[in-house]
A and B are shown apart, each in its own frame.
Chain A
Amino acid sequence: MSPMIFQTALYASLVLCALGLAWRVSAWFRVRVGPDARAVTLSRRVAAVFQGIAATLASRRVFQIPGAFVLDVLLQRRLFANEKLRWFGHLLVVVGFTLLLLMHALWASVTVKLFQGYQPTLDPYLFLRNLFGTMILVGVALLLYGRWRRRTGLPQARRRIDAAFVALLAFVLVTGFLLEAHKIASPRAFYRMAEQFIGTTDAEKLMPLRALWASEFGVAFADLKTPIAPHLVQQGRELHRDACAFCHTPPASAFVSYPVAQILAPVSGLLDQVRADIWLLYLHVFACFLGLASLPFTLFFHVVTAPISLLVNAAAPQRELPGQTFPTPTLSSAVRASRRALALDACVRCGICDMRCSVAPLARYLGNPGLLPAHMLQATAALADGSLLRPGREAGALRAAEGAFLCTDCGRCTSRCPVGLDLADLWEAARGDLAAAGLPAPAQWVQARAALAWAESLEAGPGQYIFSAADAWSAPLSADRRTFSRCVQCQTCTNVCPVVAHSIDSEHGVDLTPQKVMNLLRLGLGDLTLGSRMVWDCASCYQCQEHCPEGIRVADIMLELRALAVHRLGAVRSLGERS
């Protein structure tokens, strides 16, 4: 490869990478997640981040950073606590990649300076290159296996570009191994070297050396008769010692490429003819440059974001962490906004949060992966860049909203995230944005209309309706007359209801009392209850149910009516209706 092409491509990739990085990093100040973030100006956010850094550096917290760098960033303590297998896989990839980068890709500026007499064709470099490459392949395989093994039964959050990046990484490794294997087996490479170091390409003259290289170095000479006479090999050894041994050790230690070379042997002549050495090199190198140039936009970007996220956490945690010895600084909206934007970039979509999510069973039951944290994060990112609310994507937006509002804020995603993202804060912010975009919590959009208005729109829509046997699967209580037929309207439920007790003015108070809800159900007027404030303001304290002399499941019915309301009223709700 001509140095000019190489240099040009390298610098072009570096420039693209730098521009991409600048663009992505600027997003941490530009992207707005959460209503509070919208109120903060760009300059305020930049200033707050630098003030925060300065304050941290000037405080005792700065001493936390080196420890966090070793434990969290290098040793991946949080991943270790989650899953040993994926931690090991990740470690293999990181170590293999780093060493391959330093020893092999940057050999001219690193290896040569550290080790005298470095040659890529000498041991231990020959062996190590194969070892590091294999580590990456095995590590990636372990990571993929870990992901597969812990699948939730719902589609996993992923971006196509991330899969493309993994494919590119595999492509680089495979072309690398193929290139090396081809060069081992290639007679053309042998003659090129012979011409350079011995001064001849005459096959007969080189016969002893060819015999040695064919038997011990794996070169696939098509014209060499087997078995090779041992005395020829012996003769070749002397020539080898003088001309070749300085740069070559037997390639059997290349434990991947050498077997591949033996497999390629029958076609190596053909490969020589089509100049496989050149185009494999081009593919290998340009795939690396492509990876470099696209780094800011692929999964690989987490090499930048994850350490930043982990170190920021160590220096300025958002909430009390176990074992923390100094007070938590309260974060301004400006800093919070930047950390949310960073979180969108730092997520590696490992799916560990999905695995730990306490509403995962609900997500499966509803068939809506939008409840799972990794999906919520993607939806939050889409909400921030506006793509979630694009016309024609209403279904996706509704699914995301359902997920966001069914999240119970249990915080397990946050506590388990290997990158240490404060996801709970992100969800809160996302819900605020969803509400502002006309996708508020069900309690809000339902209560934006009066119960009677809802009942009327139901009448106009899919037709008049009373709960029937068809609803028995989703509303087993409301559809079964026996549930409330025993109600004697004694008002006990109303008497013990703290929500009724609290609502003393008719404007904001409950519109129906619990016993009136039961009565409407009894009369087959269930639609009138769906949007009622009693149903939606019910605190589920179960006082009514515990006190009901007839053992009617009043509180359970209220819960069921809410679920039914989301389902039925959602169908006649005009989207984007502001509440």
Chain B
Amino acid sequence: MTGARRDSFDVAVIGAGMAGMAAALFAAERGLSCIQIGNGGSLLFASGLLDLLGVHPVAERRLWQSPYAALAALAREQPLHPLARVDAHSIRAAFESFVTALAAAGLAYAPLGERNRKLLTSIGTIKTTFGVPLSMVAGTGVLDARPPCLLVDFRGLREFSAAQIAATLGRSWPGLRHQRIEFPGCEGAPELYAAHLARALETRETRARTVALVQPLLGDAQAVGFPAVLGLARAREVHAAFEAGLGVPVFEIPTMPTSVPGLRLLSALEAMLSARGVRRRHQASVRALAFDAHAGTATLELEGISGGAGGERVFARAVVLATGRFTGRGLTADRGGVRESILGLPVHQPGSREAWHQRDFLDPSGHAINRAGLEIDDAWRPLGASGKPAWPRLYAVGSILAHQDWMRSKCGSGLAIATAWAAMDQVALALGGTGAG
């Protein structure tokens, strides 16, 4: 099903965060012609780790080893939670499809399995997650066994301190050592930036000089951890070269956002969509969206973020809102309350601003405003003021949906990928295509 006109598509996905990327991928995989509108920059805040569901219930901060068991509990206790609307079979299929596509685009993940993994963060805390890039996966093993291990950092790289990690974990991990080295070629630099180191390490010479600097520091270490700067486009090659050069497993520790794994994820997702013929307008936003009830098409009026490109129109038979909450600017908050930014759809929200937040900012149960979002029907269609779907083929996915607090539940990627999959099944059904189910 390809639109006859160059500006007509089966599906228009608005938003280029994790949910928008997943929706565009799944649309393409279902044989639907697709245009994606939105700046993918928000993905740079991603860590490259794919959470599914780590914490439930939020108020108890209970961590789960099995995300699927957690999902089952969630479905029982919070049936309105978007993830409660997707069955486990679909979630498995969605994640497999997503990481397979990423691997084909050059970003390989460790086999997903059925369990959450534990991972070291750049400040020495431990994070529970589900999908882990291959370059980081050795870190999950050493965290469990805690063998002698060396953490290396670079002088001038502000966002990563091996000493801090060692200080936090040293008491429970006696074999954990840390060393600071000069990054080859940047000896005088007052400040280093992760992405530049990552690119520099793609040259064989810098790589070899770095390995040579670390080699004498190895001692009895059975694994070496680095900040996540081991290559960008050729990350696999850099990681392999480090392991071969040092002779022990090497793992990356995700750094503070915006990070190199975020850049890798963004470029892999972009490559993945390009390879599938998804049209991308990543320097544009949707200025206006209108629906023609008769023709059954939506008209999207675009504007470039640099201005000047105003007035361009594209047409789609189905529209997927993946515009996110407040940081993605899918929702707009003002003194009167919260509204959806493009169409002004009604937003499920606390009754008044006083009710947005708990008295205590760090209240374990989270804040009501963090569960605000769009109400949907069973077919993932946001509801209009009348309580019926706003338009027969307007769908919503990802964090713009109500009744979830993805940050505290550790379910951001899961929410994005699972809802995109389920909603795209409905899109395909409505457009008469094949549901991948």
Contacts and interface: CB of A to CB of B under 8 A. Distances in A.
Nearest to B192: A504
Nearest to B188: A505
B258 A490 contact: yes
A385 interface: no
Contact of A492 (B44, B186, B188, B189): B44
Interface in B19-49: 39, 41-45
Contacts of A549: 39, 41-45, 258
Given A495-B258, A545-B306, A551 B195 contact: no
Nearest to B185: A504
Given A490-B258, A506-B188, A495 B41 contact: no
Contact of B285 (A495, A546, A551): A551
A491 B44 CA distance: 10
A501 B193 contact: yes
B263 interface: yes
A224 B199 CA distance: 105
Given A495-B258, A551-B285, A501 B195 contact: yes
Contacts of A500: 193, 196
Contacts of B45: 490, 549
Interface string A481-507: 000000000111011100011001110
Interface residues of A, number: 22
Interface in A118-146: none
B305 interface: yes
A546 B188 contact: no
Given A490-B257, A556-B306, A495 B189 contact: no
A553 B266 CA distance: 19
B282 A495 contact: no
A551 B258 CA distance: 15
A166 to B, nearest CB: 45
B165 interface: no
Contacts of A556: 306
A551 B41 contact: yes
Nearest to B158: A491
Contacts of B41: 492, 546-551
Question: How would you classify the secondary structure of chain A's contact residues: helix, strand, loop or mixed?
Answer: loop
Interface in A530-564: 545-551, 553, 556
Contacts of B257: 490
A492 B262 CA distance: 10
Contacts of A553: 305-306
Given A506-B189, A556-B306, A546 B258 contact: no
Interface in B215-242: none
A483 to B, nearest CB: 11
Nearest to B285: A551
Contacts of A490: 44-45, 257-258
A551 B39 CA distance: 7
A17 B45 CA distance: 78
B310 to A, nearest CB: 15
B97 interface: no
Contacts of B186: 504
B321 interface: no
Given A545-B306, A547-B41, A549-B42, A495 B188 contact: no
A532 to B, nearest CB: 16
Contacts of B210: none
Interface in B154-187: 185-186
Interface in A403-432: none
Contact of B305 (A492, A504, A551): A551
Contacts of B258: 490-492, 495, 549
Given A504-B186, A504-B188, 7 more contacts: A495-B196, A501-B193, A501-B196, A501-B199, A505-B189, A547-B41, A548-B39
Interface of B: 39, 41-45, 185-186, 188-190, 193-196, 199-200, 257-258, 263, 266, 282-283, 285, 305-306
Interface of A: 490-492, 494-496, 500-501, 504-506, 509, 513, 545-551, 553, 556
